[in-house]
Amino acid sequence: RAKAAGGNRFELADPEADARAITRHGLTTALPTALDRGEFFIEYQPLVHLGDGSVRGAEALVRWLHPQHGVLSPDRFIPLAEHTGLIVPLGRWVLEQSVRQAREWRDANGGDVLGPLRINVNLSPCQLTHPGLVQDTVEILERTGVTPDALCLEVTESALIGADDDLLKPLRRLAEMGVDIALDDFGTGYSNLANLRRLPVSVLKLDRSFTQSMQQFPADPVDLKIVEGIVSLAHSLDLAVTVEGVETGAQAEQLRILGCDTAQGWYYARPGPPERLHELALVDATG
């Protein structure tokens, strides 16, 4: 917005942009010590089987309880953490906490009642290129006594577009150990579908934009065909399909009919504290 600033001169004024820049600067300064101060915490959002509605696991989503700004969502600080390099220790912390949590859920039920609850953890592209990824993951699993098949690492489609063998190597190692790799936000990038064969992934997480297009019942026939095509391609490549952002029962029903396997979204539960997931899974297991 340009506004008159005396005489015939104009100056650009965007107070919101100024505020954003100041906050970004402030956040960047506060970020390095936030981990040591214990200001991060993790919320868990259930992953629900579309066929029978059972809770199969949860995605770990990090938050920052900032002393001045309150709870900040990852979109506000993950890019800054990537920029400053804090993402590597932060990501390792999230992984350790989440895997530990998965172990606690299991122990709280004598290892049995809930069945194997799985834990999904997001990986940033910077973590992929960090040499310690495989070893850190192995150590965390060993320390916590959680088996690799209980862990799923989510990597965005855009992080793997054009990925060369060096970038894929650590993911291959992890996949060989039995860790699942999910392609997050699938359908937002421009990846060549044939390229999927090359990637060591076992799960496609269909982006929320597809779920949103299932809002009307019946949904737009072209959108239906697209999702149907992706699901059938995924299944023919032995990939499971998870859908994100399910907010209504109608969406869940359409996506179930289209053959999607697992769903996640506010319709089932918002991200919440670990006790909440435990309750949801327990209610589910005991009727």
Among 185, 196, 199, 203, binds ligand C2E (CB under 6 A): 185
Tell me if residue 197 falls in helix, strand or coil: helix
* Residue 52 touches which member of Mg ion, ligand C2E, none, C-beta under 5-8 Å by kind: none
The Cα-based distances of 16 to 5, 23, 80, 154, 218 in angstroms read 18, 10, 19, 33, 41
**At a CB cut-off of 8 Å and minimum separation 6, what does 70 contact?**
none
* Residue 151 touches which member of Mg ion, ligand C2E, none, C-beta under 5-8 Å by kind: none
Closer to ligand C2E by CB, 109 or 268: give it: 268
How does DSSP classify residue 123?
A: -
Are β-strands 118-122 and 55-66 bridged in parallel, bridged antiparallel, or unpaired? parallel
* Residue 45 touches which member of Mg ion, ligand C2E, none, C-beta under 5-8 Å by kind: ligand C2E
Give the CA angle between residues 190, 175, 112 to the nearest 5°.
115
133-144 vs 165-177: helix axis angle to the nearest 10? 20
Tell me the C-alpha distance between 172 and 133, whole Å. 12
Among 57, 187, 200, 245, binds ligand C2E (CB under 6 A): 245
CB 14 to ligand C2E: min, Å:
25
- Tell me if 57 contacts ligand C2E by CB under 6 A: no
CB 98 to ligand C2E: min, Å:
8
Of 27-35, 122-130, 137-145, 191-199, the segment contacting ligand C2E by CB under 6 A is: 122-130
Phi, psi of 169 (to 5 degrees): -55, -55
- Tell me if 70 contacts ligand C2E by CB under 6 A: no
Among 157, 180, 184, 261, binds Mg ion (CB under 5 A): 184
Alpha helices (H) along 65-220: 74-84, 87-107, 125-129, 133-144, 157-160, 165-177, 208-212
- Tell me if 180 contacts ligand C2E by CB under 6 A: no
* Residue 94 touches which member of Mg ion, ligand C2E, none, C-beta under 5-8 Å by kind: ligand C2E
Among 24, 28, 35, 74, binds ligand C2E (CB under 6 A): 74
Q: Are 76 and 27 in contact (CB under 8 A)?
A: yes
Q: How many CA atoms lie within 13 A of 268 on its CB side?
A: 32
Helix, strand and coil in the chain, % to nearest 5: 50, 20, 30
Of 17-25, 73-81, 133-141, 227-235, the segment contacting ligand C2E by CB under 6 A is: 73-81
Give the CA angle between residues 84, 167, 40 to the nearest 5°.
35
- Tell me if 191 contacts Mg ion by CB under 5 A: no
Q: Mask: binding to Mg ion, 116-135, rule CB under 5 A, as x and -?
A: ------x-------------
- Tell me if 180 contacts Mg ion by CB under 5 A: no
Among 55, 58, 77, 91, binds ligand C2E (CB under 6 A): 91
Which residues bind to ligand C2E, rule: CB under 6 A? 45, 61-62, 73-75, 78, 91, 94, 122-124, 154, 184-185, 244-247, 264-266, 271
Which residues bind to Mg ion, rule: CB under 5 A? 122, 154, 184-185, 244
